Every structure is written in structure tokens, then in C-alpha cells.
């Protein structure tokens, strides 16, 4: 019996004697989570076997898969990782993507995702997972917007600066993604100015359609000036003019825009890590190719194996007219609403931005609220669990 199995057995002995999980974890030099995991796995009718490691191999295979199918899987993985062949240049590399590829090829039987992952893991084609900070989940309710329809919520982000080979100029990647259909709009930029972002949004909404909500972080290029925090900038004014509600996520919580953050990671792997662009025009062309590939060739489990384009086909979508050009002018603040999701601090206050603070309630400390500015009546209304709790002149 290995040392690890002996520790698990000893943990169960101590647990049966009435020791607490905390004291067991200290005595054995293991985490409390470890003790909880093995106590949940423990089967008194089969103690030793229940404390063994489980195989990562697919369980109960119906029958052996032909070697030709396995080879197709591995070949696809190699082509996707190399990202050199034209049809695989911007392809996803995961087991799900390979599963949907084989399914689209019309195979009579397609191995499940778990089997495909096992094969590519056996072949040593799975990279070690990157260490990342994991945010602990809490029971604090978060007033996320409802994302159950196409164009209900778009997420916006700006990545950069990026640098080209032997080029000191700064470039940026503008990314917009529809949360429900996963469709994207991408562009490269030579600056991060609000007017540039507004131009990008207009062009993107003429391709993807208008969302109900545009979710973004609190960057000044999106929000406006710190010196005049209630004046708001070009991006917010554009949203209000076309009937979109801008929504700002809590500061320093980028995972709230997780879908677009994931897209940024894809862009890094599929575009920036492989292509060596020599000038801005080449970068723009590469970004446009990536947008097309994501929308037309990425088959996603969240879309039941469809591409974003297929998922959106024949849906009634409100497009921004191609004649729209008001964003080139000074837009007024006279309609619509601007939303902020904010964490109530220990003092009972929230800060919308740039020191613009409001007293809410100390009893709601460390709870999230939704603060919505109504532009027409100049009121700030604050909601907790969808209930109006405060109203301020704004």
C-alpha cells in the first residue's frame, strides 16, 4: 500500500473516531479540502478500493475504436496546434472542437469528447495547465444582466499595447462579443482613443446588430473623464444615442467580463503568437481573418455544435443602419440610462468612479448593488436584489 493510500486510510480512521476534519488535516499535513474529498469518496463496504485513485481513461467503453479514427483525432490535433494549414490557421485545439469536426465530416460513430481528450493526453499533446489565480466563490448575489437571447449583452474590451516585429509603434486589439451567440467583431487600432472605439462599435453593430446592453470595464476610454465624472465620454454617448445601455463592471474584477477575456486569450494564441506581421495593414488583415474564422468555423458546445453564424441564422436581429454617422459629431446626453455594478464597502458607500461616492447602507457591506443613472430625470437609483433601495439627484 502506497504512502498516499495509507494517509487516506488513516484520515478515515480518525474521522470514525470523532476527530474534526480540521484536526485531521493538521495532523496529516493535508488540506481540509483533501480530507473532505476523501471522506466523500469513502465507501465503508469497500474501504480500500474507494480510496484508490480513479483512472482517467474513459469508463465502460462500448467497444474499441478503430485505429483510423484515433489517428484522425491526433492528426487534427497536430494541425490545429501548428496552425499553419489554411483551414486550421485559426482553429480551436480542444477535444470539443475535434469532436464537432468529426461529426461534421459525417462519420457514422464519433468518439465522445472524453475519449478524444484521453487520446490526445496519451499522445502527450496536452500542455500543462497554466497557473492562475482562482477567485473564491461567495454567496454574495451579483446583479448580472440577463443574457438569454442574441444581442441581449455584448462585452467590449481593448487589448494592448501590441508590438510588431522590428516596430516600436503601439497597436491595440478591439474586441466585441455577443454573450449568447458567441459571435465576435474584431479590429486593430493605432490608438485607444474614444473616437476610435466609437467608430469600431458603429461598424461592429452594423455587422452583429444592436445589443440591449454593452458591458465593459471602467477604462477612461470607455467611460470618460475623471475630471468631469458625470459628463461621460463618446462611447457612453454613442450607446445612449442608439438605445444601448452601457454597463460598467466592478473595478478590479475583470473576470466579470469573462467571455471577452477568454476571447483575448484566443486572439493571443490564434493570431499574435503565430503570425509575424510587419506592418499595420497586415495586422488588420489578420484580425479580420480571425473574426471570420471564429464566426464561421468555431463549433461550440454552448451552441450545440453550431458555429456562431449558424446559431444566428434566420434570427430577427436589429441592425444599426449603415447610414448612421452621428458618432462623428458631438452627441448630447438627453435620454437612456447608464448602469454600474458596484460593491458596497465596509463604510456602506459605493464609488461610481473618480471619487463620486454615495452612501448606501452599512448593513449591505460587501454586497453588490446595481446603480442606474437615468439621464432624462437626472436621478441615480440603486437596486439590491432587484429592489430599489436608494435614490439620489444626479
Model confidence pLDDT, tens digit, residues 6-51: 889 999 888 888 888 888 888 888 888 888 888 888 888 778 888 8
pLDDT tens string 60-70: 554 589 999 99
pLDDT tens string 292-308: 999 999 999 999 999 99
Put simply, whether the predicted model's pTM sits higher than 0.75 gets the answer yes
* Residue 159: all three cell numbers together: 487589448
CB distance 151 to 318 below 8 Å:
yes
Using the predicted structure, report yes or no on whether residue 360 has a pLDDT greater than 70.
Answer: yes
Give me the mean pLDDT over the 78-84 stretch: 87
Q: What is the model's pLDDT at position 137?
A: 45
Query: Regarding predicted confidence, which is higher, 130 or 377?
Result: 377
Q: What is the model's pLDDT at position 57?
A: 58
Q: Which of 118-122, 201-205, 258-262, 352-356 has the lowest mean pLDDT?
A: 258-262
Using the predicted structure, report yes or no on whether residue 58 has a pLDDT greater than 60.
Answer: no
Q: How confident is the model at residue 56 (pLDDT cuts 50, 70, 90)?
A: low
Give me the mean pLDDT over the 111-130 stretch: 85
Q: What is the model's pLDDT at position 136?
A: 44
Angstrom distance (rounded) from CA 70 to CA 59: 17
Give me the mean pLDDT over the 346-371 stretch: 95
Q: How confident is the model at residue 157 (pLDDT cuts 50, 70, 90)?
A: very high
Q: What is the model's pLDDT at position 132?
A: 47
Angstrom distance (rounded) from CA 321 to CA 327: 13
Spell out the domain ranges in the chain: 3-50, 67-122, 153-328, 337-393
Which residues, 6 or more positions from 302, have their beta carbon under 8 angstroms from its beta carbon?
A: 182
Alpha-carbon distances of 58 from 55, 107, 112, 144, rounded to whole Å: 8, 20, 9, 37
Q: For 228, phi and psi rounded to 5 degrees? A: -125, 75
Sign for the CA dihedral angle at 260, 264, 266, 271 comes to: positive
CB distance 186 to 126 below 8 Å:
no
Q: Taking all residues of the chain, what is their mean pLDDT, rounded to a whole number? A: 89
Q: What is the model's pLDDT at position 335?
A: 95
pLDDT tens string 130-147: 544 444 444 578 999 999
Using the predicted structure, report yes or no on whether residue 59 has a pLDDT greater than 70.
Answer: no
CB atoms within 10 A of CB 135: 8
CB distance 91 to 46 below 8 Å:
no
Query: What whole-number percentage of the chain has pLDDT above 90?
Result: 62
Query: What whole-number percentage of the chain has pLDDT above 70?
Result: 93
Closest-CA residue to 180 (of 288, 337, 315): 315
Q: What is the Cα 378 distance to its own chain's centre? A: 33
Q: What is the model's pLDDT at position 104?
A: 87
Q: What is the model's pLDDT at position 166?
A: 81
Using the predicted structure, report yes or no on whether residue 272 has a pLDDT greater than 80.
Answer: no
Give me the mean pLDDT over the 156-182 stretch: 92
Give me the mean pLDDT over the 235-257 stretch: 96
Give me the mean pLDDT over the 263-274 stretch: 74
Find where cell 478591439 sits. Answer: 174
Using the predicted structure, report yes or no on whether residue 318 has a pLDDT greater than 50.
Answer: yes
CB atoms within 10 A of CB 249: 20
Find where cell 473616437 sits. Answer: 195
Q: What is the model's pLDDT at position 133?
A: 46
Using the predicted structure, report yes or no on whether residue 277 has a pLDDT greater than 50.
Answer: yes
Angstrom distance (rounded) from CA 112 to CA 119: 11
Using the predicted structure, report yes or no on whether residue 201 has a pLDDT greater than 70.
Answer: yes
Closest-CA residue to 216 (of 260, 264, 182): 260
Angstrom distance (rounded) from CA 314 to CA 148: 17
Using the predicted structure, report yes or no on whether residue 161 has a pLDDT greater than 80.
Answer: yes
Closest-CA residue to 390 (of 367, 126, 62): 367
Order across the sheet with 379-384: list the strands. 184-189, 171-178, 153-162, 213-216, 245-248, 337-343, 368-374, 379-384, 387-393
Q: How confident is the model at residue 269 (pLDDT cuts 50, 70, 90)?
A: confident
* Residue 385: all three cell numbers together: 436584489
Q: What is the model's pLDDT at position 275?
A: 65
Sign for the CA dihedral angle at 386, 391, 393, 394 comes to: negative
CATH of 153-328, one of 3.30.420.10, 3.10.20.30, 3.30.460.10, 3.40.50.300: 3.30.420.10
Amino acid at each position: 500500500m502506497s504512502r498516499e493510500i495509507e494517509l487516506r486510510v488513516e484520515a478515515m480512521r480518525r474521522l470514525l473516531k470523532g476527530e474534526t476534519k480540521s484536526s485531521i488535516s493538521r495532523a496529516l499535513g493535508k488540506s481540509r479540502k483533501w480530507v473532505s474529498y476523501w471522506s466523500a469518496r469513502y465507501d465503508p463496504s469497500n474501504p480500500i478500493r474507494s480510496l484508490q485513485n480513479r483512472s482517467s481513461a474513459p469508463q465502460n467503453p462500448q467497444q474499441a475504436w478503430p485505429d483510423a479514427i484515433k489517428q484522425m483525432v491526433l492528426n487534427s490535433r497536430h494541425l490545429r496546434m501548428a496552425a499553419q494549414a489554411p483551414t486550421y490557421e485559426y482553429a480551436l485545439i480542444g477535444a470539443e472542437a475535434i469532436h464537432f469536426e468529426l461529426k461534421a465530416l459525417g462519420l457514422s460513430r464519433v468518439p465522445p469528447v472524453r475519449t478524444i481528450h484521453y487520446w490526445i493526453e496519451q499522445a502527450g499533446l496536452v500542455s500543462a495547465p497554466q497557473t492562475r489565480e482562482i477567485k473564491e466563490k461567495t454567496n454574495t448575489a451579483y446583479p448580472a444582466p440577463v443574457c438569454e437571447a442574441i444581442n441581449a449583452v455584448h462585452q467590449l474590451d481593448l487589448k494592448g499595447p501590441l508590438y510588431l516585429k522590428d516596430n516600436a509603434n503601439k497597436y491595440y486589439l478591439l474586441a466585441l462579443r455577443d454573450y449568447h451567440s458567441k459571435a465576435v467583431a474584431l479590429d486593430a487600432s493605432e490608438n485607444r482613443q474614444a473616437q476610435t472605439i466609437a467608430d469600431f462599435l458603429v461598424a461592429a453593430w452594423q455587422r452583429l446588430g444592436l445589443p440591449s446592453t454593452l458591458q465593459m470595464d471602467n477604462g477612461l476610454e470607455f467611460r470618460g473623464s475623471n475630471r468631469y465624472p458625470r459628463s461621460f465620454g463618446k462611447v457612453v454617448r454613442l450607446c445612449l444615442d442608439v438605445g444601448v445601455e452601457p454597463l460598467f463592471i466592478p473595478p478590479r474584477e475583470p473576470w466579470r467580463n469573462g467571455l471577452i477575456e477568454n476571447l483575448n486569450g484566443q486572439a493571443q494564441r490564434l493570431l499574435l503568437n503565430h503570425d509575424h506581421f510587419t506592418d499595420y495593414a497586415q495586422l488588420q488583415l489578420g484580425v479580420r481573418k480571425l473574426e471570420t474564422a471564429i464566426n464561421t468555423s468555431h463549433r461550440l458546445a454552448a451552441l450545440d455544435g453550431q458555429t456562431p453564424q449558424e446559431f444566428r441564422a434566420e434570427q430577427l436581429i436589429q441592425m444599426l443602419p449603415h447610414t448612421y454617422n452621428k458618432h462623428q459629431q458631438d452627441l448630447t446626453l438627453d435620454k437612456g440610462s447608464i448602469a454600474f455594478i458596484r460593491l458596497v464597502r465596509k463604510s456602506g458607500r459605493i464609488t461610481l468612479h473618480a471619487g463620486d461616492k454615495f452612501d448606501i447602507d452599512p448593513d449591505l457591506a460587501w454586497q453588490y448593488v446595481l446603480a442606474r443613472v437615468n439621464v432624462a430625470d437626472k436621478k441615480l437609483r440603486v437596486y439590491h436584489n432587484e429592489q430599489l433601495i436608494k435614490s439620489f439627484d444626479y
